[in-house]
Amino acid sequence: MKKKVLSVLLCTAMVASLAIGCGSKDKKAEGSSDSGSSASGDMTVEVVAKGFQHDFWKAVNSGAEKAAEENGVKMNFVGPKDESAVAEQVEQLNNAINKKPSAIVLASLDPESVKGALDTAASQNIPVIGFDSGVPGNDTIVANAATDNYAAGEMAAENMYELIKDKVTDPADTVRIGVVSQDATSGSIIDRTAGFIDKMVSLIGEDKASVEGHDKYNKKVDGAKVIIEVGIPATVEDAACVTVANTLLNKADLIAIYGSNEFSAKNIVTANESLDKLGVDKIVGVGFDAGKIQLDAVRNGIFAGSITQNPVQIGYQAVDLAVKAAKGEEVSDVDTGALWYTAENIDDEEIAACLYE
């Protein structure tokens, strides 16, 4: 599997032909050519991720390392202990700025919390590239390398809908679709959750589906026979997420469940181990990202399928954009793509190249 994760060129070709559409923002890093050396060998790129707790970030790191090596630059990759440690990430970002690097790459846990640090970076002419969720709504970011997470969430909903449409079309009794999301602060998680919910509601009918469970997403519809229930754990810990998944899986009217990242998906699978509710002719499970637990669930039919990003390309493109920005070159957003995978196509070359254990 490690060999497949590092198949960057193969998955890049796949993304060009099959991925969700790319962004088109062109922007030059103002003053960046004066703040850093134009010779790549003298450059340093500081990467501040969301953590190392998921294999996803290890795959992102491998792509960042490859881009740094190919560009002949130094690269330092850091992240907080988990994706709830906002203060720790802010400290890491400030430390990165204090090193006066040629460029910074950032996947913010909380966009509001990093505004001050990003203003400081801009005042010092240090270009900042966003990756993964980036920093939505912040004009100091010169470009982003990321999945279109809203569209990827829509993709998950479309594929789930095909499997449950007979059950959600004018049901005689109430039916429920569960959504497990890691948090309600990360831009990428919010977009994947909102994209999934909005598309599912559109497919079912706005007057027929009621969204409940969390204030951020609630759109209650009186008398609706389809309930989309969102569960978010109190902490970003496996035990807390398993509890949320257990609660949903134990509801008698549940027909399907969606996990919006590796953390959520793997804990749905863990919760199911003692319940045996997911699988063929049972509750439909759909996940996001990869990791061994989720891959096994897809292969074994516990999950109907999952959405894969291209984590290696996210890391690679982010550092590559950072080097270009540091040289004062024009840079544009890069959509690194998403694909639907199932037991039937999980070993196809274009899919396998984007998966990780």
Question: What's the CATH superfamily of 44-146+311-337?
Answer: Response regulator (3.40.50.2300)
Residue 137 is predicted with a pLDDT of: 77
Residue type, 133: S
Contact present, 229 and 200 (Cβ < 8 Å): no
Name residue 219's beta-bridge partners. Answer: 211
Q: Which of 188, 160, 148 is nearest to 340 (CA)?
A: 160
What one-character DSSP code corresponds to residue 172?
S
Q: Where are the domains of the chain?
A: 44-146+311-337, 149-308
Residue 82 is predicted with a pLDDT of: 86
Contact present, 319 and 45 (Cβ < 8 Å): yes
Helices (H), 73-114: 86-98
The SS3 call for residue 285 is strand
Residue 34 is predicted with a pLDDT of: 36
Residue 26 is predicted with a pLDDT of: 54
Whether domain 149-308 has CATH 3.40.50.2300: yes
Compute the C-alpha angle 296/298/302, nearest 5°.
95
Residue type, 45: V
Give the distance from CA 176 to its chain's centroid: 24
Residue 27 is predicted with a pLDDT of: 54
Residue type, 222: D
The SS3 call for residue 329 is coil
Judge whether 44-146+311-337 and 149-308 match in fold: yes
pLDDT (tens place) for every residue of the chain, 357 residues total: 333 333 333 344 444 433 433 333 455 444 333 333 445 668 999 999 998 877 889 989 999 999 999 999 999 999 999 888 999 999 999 999 999 999 999 999 998 999 999 999 999 999 999 998 778 778 899 999 999 999 999 999 999 999 999 999 999 999 999 999 999 988 889 999 999 999 999 999 999 999 999 999 999 999 999 999 999 999 999 999 999 999 999 999 999 999 999 999 999 999 999 999 999 999 999 999 999 999 999 999 999 999 999 999 999 999 999 999 999 999 999 999 999 999 999 999 989 989 988
Contacts of 89 (CB under 8 A, 6+ apart): 48, 50, 79, 80, 108, 109, 113, 114
